[in-house]
Amino acid sequence: MMSLLGALSRHGSPVNLKQLATETRLHPSTAHRILSVMVGSRLVDRIEPGTYRLGIRLLELGSLVKSRISVRQEALPHMQSLQLELGETINLSVRHDDEVVYVERTSGNNSMMRVVQIIGARAPLHITAVGKIFLAEDGPEKCAEYARRTGLPRYTDNTLTDADALAKELEKVRRQGYASDNEEAEKGVSCIGAGIYNDEGRLVAGLSVSAPSDRLNKAWATQVRQTAEKISRAIGHPTR
């Protein structure tokens, strides 16, 4: 059954029994028997005798699965694994207007860092790694609008308060696929973040690691990106 579903999914138009049997290496009578059961369950539609396509029931089931997917729920085990690997605080955040909102966090019991990214806390987009991911996704025009709208308030000496400097930083983010916060939100604390994408390819959340600046390793960007990609796949984003 799964072989037949896979074969049907590779075609944009109805496929005849002979071709399906060939692609799945099933005997035509076996393929016909399985397809008949699938037609009865609406997993497959019979367009005309001997010709088939994926059925509407799959769309119904897909919509049901999608509605039950929680980014936070899917992300948490991956966040816990990354926290054990890096030994630092891992954050999950989403965007709300011109801010990021922290919705989940994992950290070790022996962490000596004062963590400001508590669940429910908010921060302007331009001072956080994940916020920069969202701004980079918006594109240059919307980023310029954000700069004019907010005035890019300063939080530390390292905060990017110049629109041109922010634009250059966001171009770098687009090229490398991750973003950094170099003590721009809080003095002494740095961060690396990457985006999480849903089944439609839309940026829906961000994953980040926070640590005292003297402990943050720039090489962690690879693990953060890879973990963000795992979470993206878990919520339906196609594998690259």
Instruction: Give tens-digit pLDDT for 47-89.
Output: 887 899 998 888 777 766 655 557 888 899 999 999 999 989 9
pLDDT given at position 162: 93
pLDDT given at position 114: 45
From residue 167, how far is each of 72, 154, 160, 213 by CA, in Å? Answer: 30, 16, 10, 24
pLDDT given at position 84: 92
Max distance between CA atoms of the chain, in angstroms, equals 73
From residue 32, how far is each of 11, 29, 132 by CA, in Å? Answer: 18, 5, 53
Domains in the chain: boundaries: 2-59, 68-234
**Do 159 and 132 meet the contact criterion of CB atoms below 8 Å apart?**
no
Name the pTM for this structure.
0.71
> In the chain, where do the E strands start and end?
15-16, 44-48, 51-54, 89-96, 99-106, 122-124, 179-182, 189-197, 203-212
CATH number for the domain formed by residue range(s) 68-234: 3.30.450.40
Two domains, one topology: 2-59 and 68-234: no
Residue 157 tokens, joined: 């000496």
- Please list the ranges in the chain whose pLDDT falls under 70: 63-69, 108-118, 239-240
pLDDT given at position 58: 84
Q: HSE on the CB side for 168, CA within 13 Å?
A: 5
pLDDT given at position 108: 66
The CATH architecture one would assign to domain 2-59 is: Orthogonal Bundle (1.10)
> Residue for token digits 């916020």?
131
pLDDT given at position 69: 55
